[in-house]
Structure 1
Amino acid sequence: MNTLPYRMPGVLRLALPVVLLAALAWGGTRLLPWTPHWYPPLHAVLEACAIVLALLVFALGAHRAGGRMPATLALLSSAALALALLGIGHLLSVPAPAGSNTLAAADAGAAFWLVAHGLGALVLLAAALLPEGRSAGPATHALCMLGAFAVAAAGYWLALVRPGLLPATFVSGIGMTGFARAFECTLVGVDLGAALLLARRARRHRSRLWYYLAAAAAVTALSGISFMLHPAPDAPSDLLAHLYKLLAFLCLHRALFAGAQQEQQQEQQRRAQPASAPAPRPALPDRYRALDTLAGAIAAARRDGGSVAVIVLDIDGFRKINSHHGWSSGDQVLHECVARLSARLAAGDLLAHQGGNEFIVVCRQAEREQVAALARDLQESMRLPFAPGGHCVFLSASAGIALLPAEPCQASQLLQMAQLASASARHEGPAHLCFYTARMGGAMRERIGLETMLCQAIARREFVLQYQPRIGMTDGRMVGVEALVRWRHPQLGLLAPGRFIPLAEESGLINELDMWVLREACVRAAAWCAQGLFSGRMSVNLSARQFQQPGLAQRVRAVLADSGLAPAALELEITESTVMHDTEDAADVLRSLRALGVTVSIDDFGTGYSSLSYLKRFPLDVLKIDRAFVRDLDGDATGAAIVRAIITLAHSLGLSAVAEGVETAEQVAFLKENGCDEIQGYYFSRPVWPDEIARLLAEAAGAWSTVSPHPVIQP
């Protein structure tokens, strides 16, 4: 639920003031820095703000009057009008300072409060129980409005005309009466029940509407609890109850506003979708239904000595359907997948759609060989060509299987095992099949732990940079260094990029990490330049995600300005696959970087697309030969031919050629003989700490007397 801004734990934190007040109540309110003279103005401000918010909620429904609207909107917006009217009565009923005229006594104010709270609790519970997707016409909306006026009128009649009908709610010096306390306890229970129902619906739909409604119900319960704690009408706990009431109206407004936005987006999608297009998603059970079915199957298997298996199918390459042929074609493919998979399942098996391109199959009474055969059969059904929009498309499916273990296992745990197996199958390549093993669970726990700590690693300054020298072949000078990020993990020690960069990319933290590396490297290079030690280039790798973010040139310009590093002293390394993602946009980004005066290089050349067309179109400066080709130089004529061809190609296009991963004297000799411009690798130095680079620069003023191996420096 990381996409939603509101979480129920935040509501739990809001309960801390209530706990504090309850604790202070044992020692008396004299422990609080409070004077009753503060109460009237603070109460007036809080109640007035709550009334304004209630009217804004009512306005959301009033704008839709005369047409169909969600039943939730019709109910809550009408109730908000009644709550606003009752709030006005409550505001005017609160005793003011001595000498002022009042509308009624404090009991009238409490009566208005109780009627309003009772209406709010019942309306929130009704919203939680309303069938999903129910709409209301003008007649239903009008009935809701009439009901709201009736409740408000009844509240005024009870508080002002027949106050004797309502039992006393407050006794001076004692606090709330038993009636008021019992009534308020009941309403708090109703609020909490509504909050739980709404939160369950929110988890199922991942919708802002239900999250905010759940929050409104929970905060309303806190308001009622605070109201029960006050020993006098002007006590601080009464103001806290009004503050919670204000927050509840704010959550209610946000809920209905989010619901209106969601409805508008759905309407736009319906208008954009052709009349003959299929439904947006297959009509299959979702994850929660699958978990319920799986829990029953597990219980039956434990009781009868049977077996249960879960298959998670991931449709490989499904994203290219949406990106190349449109979302409508993707929906057609999903419906075809459902038809093919359903046709191959037994009567007792369940097919569920987990979302996107992932399906769940629950198999009853399935042994290892049977479920493996079924999974392969399901994979085979995906191999047949699809024809979305008249286009012929071939797909495949990766499958992960989890069998019910002998030890106790919940439905969610068994499904997670199948998902881990599916992830392992995808890692091995398209159309693979994997059974869950305990090793997968350990690897995933380690991955989750790393991802959790990765979120805080930058703030805790756990990332560090090492630098590897780049040596010019003409005179043996250190012509630059490449910045390489490391993670100094508190428990695991120094981690290489391969352990955490993929996690950073998947979690979206790679942008922040990229910018930290760029700033740190530029500051370090600027410091070496200021000391007269460094006159080469600082090379920094850019991730594909960073390159594709708008405003890259502006961000690089800002880093250069802040660090004081000259643009000519910075080299940005980009992989082939990055620039081939969208060639037109990539060309524009590269031109904007070149306009700054920085050097641009293609890293790991020869392992990606290796298209000669982009070398001609893109403004580049350097080709970096991948270490895999350099490693093949020793005794491999094909590898030598490839490296020689890359060097020749680079020079013919006016580019420099840099070889990575140089480890032997024979490789150095070959590269020098064939005109390679720069060399980088363990033959000269491993990546080392900044102090070691500074020492090398200071000792030789950046010059290496000959192209000869340097003692390997352990990090």
Structure 2
Amino acid sequence: MRDLIGRPLWCSVVANPILDARGEPTHSVMLLTDITHTKLHEVLQNKVLDALVREVPLVAVMDLVCREVERIAPEVKASILRVDVNGRLRTLAGPNLPDSYSQAIDGAPIGPRTGSCGTAAYRGEPVLVSDIATDPLWDDYRHLVPAGLMACWSSPIKNSEGRVIGTFAFYYEQNRGPDELHLRLVDVSLHLCALALERDEARAHIRQLAFYDALTGLPNRSLLMAEAEQAISRCDAEGAELAVLFIDLDRFKQINDSLGHPAGDELLRLVAARLQAVVREQGLVGRLSGDEFVVVLPNCDGLQATQVAERLLARLAVAHRVAGVSLITLASVGISLYPSNGQDMETLLHRADMAMYQAKNGGRGSFRFFSEEMNQRAQERLALESSLREAVRHQTLSLHYQPQVRLHDGSIHAVEALARWRHPQMGAVAPSRFIPLAEECGLIGELSQWVLREACRQLADWRQRGIEIPAVAVNLSPSDFHDQDLPHNLDVLLRRHGLSGSDLVVEITEGMLLDNHPTTLATLHALAELGVRLSMDDFGTGYSSLSYLHRLPISELKLDRSFVADLAGGGTALALTDAVMNIGRSLELTVIAEGVEETRQLEMLHQQGYPVAQGYLFSRPLPAAALEEWMLRRVMAS
């Protein structure tokens, strides 16, 4: 059934027969009820909800709404626009409006005088313009309106929170406004459009959470790996190369610890923006975790990768302010190439990571390419790490001891305990190799505890046998002082072996001067209160600063062996060793010269007033039994 102007009407029909005296029907009475409003709601709702259940794309759902409305009311041309996060209109559907018009208004800002739709979105209420040709709301957009359209009625689409997320408009070919049917159609359609838009926003938000890093907005590992694999497939089909750049910020932990995590987050956002600015449309930038970023560059060879890496490092090194502090960000970059370094993203990423560590070990702020030689070294390192874990777990390392000799009478000042490791296949592994490895793989704490236990046990054994060793010196890692329980555990260990705090010397590095971990200084003072002597190892090579040094309860300074080695040349080295000795005197610290290998070196140090020396001139580091024999020979020789 249709009304007088051809629009469909839905009616409910009830027929009641009229019977004659014989009970035969002669007439009927029919009752017709207009159910157009209910039927409109039912038809539109069923079709739209069915489309949503079938995961039909948003644009297709909105097109369905417009076409259904226009089928019911052929005199209108429907339009649905979305309001984006920047307050601009985005065309979703307008099947019977010219494409040129839909494209022209796409991106138009909402505002108080922006046609019917832009104004309705701005006001948050329906806007009727019955004469587009004269209404001031259309002054800036009238020239865009297609010929024949004379009026526009637009209603805002609001989400469940009342925020305007779109507009639903009717265009007319006469100067007019909506009638009752149009009001019903819009009333039915608005909540369906809101449901579809909110569903799309929710899906977009879920996708953002699932595939993008919340802090920087960059693709996360999942999306990065998926898109990189697609890029590899395209390069494979085209016979092109692809580069993977693994980027790790240098000293980011120090920035986090000193300026706080909010400042660290701000820095990561700045870094992400700078990486995107350099790469632009050339490739993909993603964040793996922490301060690790990855750049994937399709159709990129080694030379082009070099140029990009140089631009990245230069851009990151431009100073920027974070938390009120001017920072220059250095980074280490590792590069792998498809197909020469790997056929899939996992392999390329792993090898770029390996190359990044090579860059970091080479001085930071630089980049390196992966090579098979590098891969071989990495495999050897992995095997060495596994063996070191076994050695620490089963305590198959050993301690050697090197004497520190008092120069005025030749007596023993202390012995330094030095860890040694003999690998079953590789033989003796240098401490310069396995100590840094222990720090990198998190074994240094276990190793340090074993060294302390073994050194105290050995010293107690010497004491019981009447062998006069005044003290034993042990090297600890800076990370060991982050353990608040270190003083208590050391006190228990000393008591267990009948030793006092003064029987132990703990050697620390100059890096401790800049360690701003909250527990470090308190731990050092707690050790000093136990009577444990603290010795500053390798003094003069790192962050030597009296302003830091006076804060620490140091009792000894150890002159670095590099100064001793240069003594024979006189000049600067001689002046530096004299300056360190004067610092020791002024601070009332015992100064020990290490690395003494020649008699001439010893004579010059003695002339400068050095009280204690250590080095091959006296003895190499020896196992405990060999050290006892060395001491016996010295006694017999005297």
| TM bracket, shorter-chain basis | 0.5 to 0.7
Q: 1:519, 1:559 within 8 Å by CA — same for their partners in 2?
A: yes
Decide which structure has greater strand share: 2
Q: Which residue of 1 aligns with 2:100?
A: none
Structure 1 position 345 matched with structure 2 position 279: yes
Structure 1 position 434 matched with structure 2 position 368: yes
Which segment drifts farther, 281-290 or 403-412? Answer: 403-412
Note closer, same or farther for the CA distance 1:524–1:347 as it changes in structure 2 (3 Å cut). Answer: same
* Structure 2 residue corresponding to 1:683, chosen from 617, 623, 626: 617
Shift of 1:366: 0.8
Structure 1 position 588 matched with structure 2 position 495: no
Structure 1 position 640 matched with structure 2 position 598: no
Q: Which residue of 2 aligns with 1:7?
A: none
Q: Which residue of 1 aligns with 2:258?
A: 324
Structure 1 position 561 matched with structure 2 position 561: no
- Relative contact order, higher structure (CA 8 A, sep 6+): 1
Q: Which residue of 2 aligns with 1:485?
A: 419
TM-score, structure 1 normalization: 0.57
Structure 1 position 333 matched with structure 2 position 267: yes
Q: 2:258, 2:516 within 8 Å by CA — same for their partners in 1?
A: no
Give SS of 1:663's match.
coil
Aligned partner of 1:525: which letter? L
**Equivalences for residues 84-123 of structure 1 within 5 A:** none
Note closer, same or farther for the CA distance 1:280–1:323 as it changes in structure 2 (3 Å cut). Answer: farther
Which segment drifts farther, 284-293 or 358-367? Answer: 284-293
Decide which structure has greater helix share: 1
Shift of 1:428: 1.7
Distance 2:254 2:515 in 1: 13
Shift of 1:441: 0.8
Q: 1:522, 1:560 within 8 Å by CA — same for their partners in 2?
A: yes
Shift of 1:692: 0.5
Note closer, same or farther for the CA distance 1:662–1:317 as it changes in structure 2 (3 Å cut). Answer: same
Note closer, same or farther for the CA distance 1:650–1:584 as it changes in structure 2 (3 Å cut). Answer: farther
Q: Deviations over 1:348-403 (max 9, x none)?
A: 51111111112111111112211211221222221222233444322123221111
Q: Which residue of 2 aligns with 1:356?
A: 290
Q: 1:519, 1:563 within 8 Å by CA — same for their partners in 2?
A: no
Q: Deviations over 1:413-460 (max 9, x none)?
A: 111111111111112223212111112111111111122222222222
> Which structure 1 segments of 5+ residues have no match?
1-278, 706-715
Aligned partner of 2:320: which letter? F
Note closer, same or farther for the CA distance 1:408–1:477 as it changes in structure 2 (3 Å cut). Answer: closer
Distance 2:550 2:258 in 1: 26
Structure 1 position 289 matched with structure 2 position 223: yes
Q: Which residue of 1 aligns with 2:434?
A: 500
Distance 1:408 1:311 in 2: 14
Shift of 1:280: 5.1
Q: Which residue of 2 aligns with 1:137?
A: none
Distance 1:673 1:690 in 2: 32
Shift of 1:291: 2.2
Q: 2:221, 2:288 within 8 Å by CA — same for their partners in 1?
A: yes
Distance 1:564 1:697 in 2: 23
Q: Which residue of 2 aligns with 1:237?
A: none
**Equivalences for residues 1-20 of structure 1 within 5 A:** none
Q: Which residue of 2 aligns with 1:674?
A: 608
Give SS of 1:536's match.
coil
Give SS of 2:621's match.
coil
Aligned partner of 1:660: which letter? E
Shift of 1:541: 1.0
Structure 1 position 696 matched with structure 2 position 600: no
Structure 1 position 599 matched with structure 2 position 533: yes
**Equivalences for residues 154-165 of structure 1 within 5 A:** none
Structure 1 position 414 matched with structure 2 position 348: yes
Give SS of 1:468's match.
strand
Q: 2:540, 2:559 within 8 Å by CA — same for their partners in 1?
A: yes
Note closer, same or farther for the CA distance 1:676–1:408 as it changes in structure 2 (3 Å cut). Answer: closer
Structure 1 position 388 matched with structure 2 position 388: no
Q: 1:570, 1:599 within 8 Å by CA — same for their partners in 2?
A: yes
* Structure 2 residue corresponding to 1:576, chosen from 492, 510, 517: 510
Note closer, same or farther for the CA distance 1:614–1:365 as it changes in structure 2 (3 Å cut). Answer: closer
Give SS of 1:387's match.
strand
Shift of 1:580: 3.6
> Which structure 2 segments of 5+ residues have no match?
1-212
Q: Which residue of 2 aligns with 1:106?
A: none
Distance 1:470 1:647 in 2: 17
Shift of 1:620: 2.2
Distance 1:407 1:506 in 2: 25
Larger Rg: 2
Shift of 1:650: 1.0
Give SS of 1:634's match.
helix
Distance 1:471 1:510 in 2: 29
Q: Which residue of 2 aligns with 1:257?
A: none
Aligned partner of 1:565: which letter? L
TM-score, structure 2 normalization: 0.64
Question: May I ask how many residue pairs the two structures share in their alignment?
Answer: 427
Q: Deviations over 1:499-519 (max 9, x none)?
A: 111121122221111111011
Distance 1:403 1:583 in 2: 39
Distance 2:601 2:401 in 1: 22
Distance 2:321 2:492 in 1: 49
Q: Which residue of 2 aligns with 1:179?
A: none
Note closer, same or farther for the CA distance 1:407–1:621 as it changes in structure 2 (3 Å cut). Answer: closer
